[in-house]
Chains A and B, each alone.
Chain A
Amino acid sequence: MRKIASVFLLLGIITTLLSGTALSSDNPKVIRIGCTGSNRPVPGNTFGILHQLHLLEDEFKKDGIQVEWNVFKGAGPASNEALANGAVDFVTFGDLPSIIGRAQGKIKLLAIHETRRAAYTIVQPDSKAKTIADLKGKKWGVSYGTSSHLYFSRLVDKFGLKENQFNAISFSGGDGKAAFLAKQIDALNVGSDVTDYVALGQGKVIYGTDKAPELKGTAGLVVTEAFAKKYPEITYRFVKTYVRAAKLGSEPKNRDKTLALWSATGTPLSTYKKEYENVPLALIINPVPDEYTISHLKDGIKFAKEKGIIRKAFAFEDWYDGSYLNRALKELKLEKYWPASDINGKPTPR
Chain B
Amino acid sequence: MSKIKLTMLVLGSLLINNATLQAADEENNSQVADQNLFDSNGSNEDTKTVDAPATQADLQGVRTEITILREQWQRKLDKGTVLSTRNANLSGSFTVNYGFYNGNVTSAGVNDGFKVGLSSVGFKGNLHRDYEKGKNIDYALTIGSDKTSFTLLPSDIWLSYQILPSLDPEKPYLKVTAGQQKKPFGLEATTSDDKKPTVTGAQFASTMKLNERDLGLLITGDLFPVNDYGFKYRVPLIEYNFMVLNGNGPVGTGNLANADNSQDLLGRIVINAPVEYSHVLRGLSVGSSYYRGKKTTNITNNAVTVASQGDRNRFGADIAYVNTPVGFTYEYAQAKDPVAKTVNGVSVLGSTNSDAHTFTLFYNFGEQFVKGYVQQDRYDDWWPTSYQPFFRFDRLTPDTSKRSTRTDVYTVGFNWFFAETTKLQINYNRTFAYLNGIKSLPDNALVAQFQFGF
Chain A residues within 8 Å of B, Cβ to Cβ: 3-4, 7-8, 10-11, 14-15, 18-19, 37, 39-42, 49, 52-53, 55, 70-74, 76-82, 84-88, 96-97, 100-101, 103-105, 139, 144-145, 149, 169-172, 178-179, 182, 184-185, 244-245, 247-248, 251, 254, 256-257, 260-261, 263, 269, 309-311, 331-333
Q: Give the chain A neighbours of B454 by CB distance below 8 A.
A: none
Q: Give the chain B neighbours of A254 by CB distance below 8 A.
A: 35, 38
Interface residues of B in 205-249 (CB under 8 A from A): 228-233
Quick check: is B381 within 8 A (CB to CB) of the other chain?
Answer: no
**Which A residue's beta carbon lies closest to that of B133?**
A169
**Chain B 123-164: CB-based contact to A (< 8 A → 1; otherwise 0):** 000000011100000000000000000000000000000000
Q: How far is the CA of A261 from the CA of B46 in the complex (A)?
A: 11
Check A170–B231 contact: CB distance below 8 A. no
Check B379–A76 contact: CB distance below 8 A. no
Q: Give the chain B neighbours of A82 by CB distance below 8 A.
A: 367, 370, 372-373
Given A11-B391, A84-B277: A53 and B37 interface contact (C-beta under 8 Å): yes
Check A332–B38 contact: CB distance below 8 A. no
Check A179–B131 contact: CB distance below 8 A. yes
Interface residues of B in 21-46 (CB under 8 A from A): 23-24, 27, 30-31, 34-35, 37-38, 41-42, 44, 46
Contact of B412 among A10, A15, A105 (CB under 8 A): A10
Q: How far is the CA of A346 from the CA of B167 in the complex (A)?
A: 41
Q: Give the chain A neighbours of B410 by CB distance below 8 A.
A: 3-4, 7
Chain B residues within 8 Å of A, Cβ to Cβ: 23-24, 27, 30-31, 34-35, 37-38, 41-42, 44, 46-47, 50-51, 130-132, 167-169, 228-233, 276-278, 324-325, 361, 363, 365, 367, 370-373, 375-379, 387, 389, 391, 410, 412, 414, 430
Q: Give the chain A neighbours of B373 by CB distance below 8 A.
A: 70, 72, 78, 81-82, 85, 87-88
Check B44–A257 contact: CB distance below 8 A. yes
Contact of B277 among A53, A81, A170, A331 (CB under 8 A): A81
Q: Give the chain B neighbours of A244 by CB distance below 8 A.
A: 30-31, 34
Q: How far is the CA of A78 from the CA of B370 in the complex (A)?
A: 9
A-B contact pairs, 16 of them (CB 8 A): A49-B38, A72-B377, A81-B370, A84-B277, A86-B324, A87-B367, A88-B373, A100-B229, A104-B230, A171-B167, A185-B132, A248-B38, A257-B38, A257-B44, A261-B41, A332-B31
**Which A residue's beta carbon lies closest to that of B277?**
A84
Main secondary structure of the interface of B (DSSP, over half): mixed
Q: Give the chain A neighbours of B31 by CB distance below 8 A.
A: 244, 247, 332
Contact of A145 among B42, B231, B324 (CB under 8 A): B231
Check B230–A100 contact: CB distance below 8 A. yes
State how many angstroms separate the Cβ of B283 from the closest Cβ of chain A.
12
Check B35–A309 contact: CB distance below 8 A. no
State how many angstroms separate the Cβ of B135 from the closest Cβ of chain A.
12
State how many angstroms separate the Cβ of A214 from the closest Cβ of chain B.
22
Q: How far is the CA of A39 from the CA of B378 in the complex (A)?
A: 9
Contact of B371 among A3, A81, A104 (CB under 8 A): A81
Q: How far is the CA of A310 from the CA of B276 in the complex (A)?
A: 10
6 residue pairs, one from A and one from B, having the closest CB atoms: A100-B230, A78-B372, A184-B131, A145-B229, A104-B278, A81-B372
State how many angstroms separate the Cβ of A48 from the closest Cβ of chain B.
12
Q: Give the chain B neighbours of A261 by CB distance below 8 A.
A: 41-42
Query: A53-B38, A97-B230, A169-B168 provided; 9 other pairs, C-beta below 8 A?
Result: A18-B387, A74-B375, A85-B324, A104-B278, A144-B229, A145-B228, A170-B168, A172-B232, A261-B41
Task: Among A105, A244, A310, find the residue whose CB has the most chain B CB atoms closer than 10 A.
Answer: A244
Q: How far is the CA of A178 from the CA of B365 in the complex (A)?
A: 37
